[in-house]
Amino acid sequence: MLRVGDLNESLKFYIDVLGMRLLRRKDYSSGRFTLAFVGYGEESDNTVIELTHNWDIDHYEIGEGYGHIAVGVENISSTCKRIKQAGGRVVREPGPMKHGSTIIAFIEDPDGYKIELIEIPSSHNPR
């Protein structure tokens, strides 16, 4: 679960920039918050991210315990290019990870949460 300051901006990022789908959304007016669940497929078969928007809070400090979310992609260079074209922010360009050979990149969502992109081999591009 990620607490977000502007739910509409966050949904735009996760849907339009990362290509996820809004799976469900519900307002809890008595608690003054909204929960939105996004992912690449149905919750029964895929991992999803819960975005929590507390209506009276528009900014959070990201704690030192948070690291990042990781998403596997087949072509990291074209993915980063598409993310930039969609208005996303790439904060570490694609390249090998420190002390390894896996190709990674980092992007940032509107609230400053880091998302690591990890290149996974496709059937057309075996490593």
Domain with residue 110: its CATH number is 3.10.180.10
Residue 51 pairs in a beta bridge with: 2, 36
For residue 98, what pLDDT is reported?
Answer: 87
Does 114 score more than 90 pLDDT? yes
Could you tell me if residue 108 is inside a domain? yes
116 is catalytic: yes
Does 126 score more than 60 pLDDT? no
Could you tell me if residue 105 is inside a domain? yes
- Total domains in the chain come to 2
Among candidate residues 9, 108, 116, 119, the one labeled active-site is 116
Does 61 score more than 70 pLDDT? yes
**C-alpha pair distances (Å), 120 with each of 4, 25, 105, 117:** 29, 30, 12, 9
Range of the domain at 93: 69-119
Full-model pTM: 0.78
Site of tokens 């290019």: 81
Residue 9 dihedral angles phi and psi, to the nearest 5°? -65, -40
Instruction: Give me the sheet containing 69-73, strands edge to edge.
Output: 69-73, 114-119, 103-108, 89-96
User: pLDDT, tens digit, for every residue of 75-110?
Assistant: 999 999 999 999 999 999 999 998 888 999 999 999
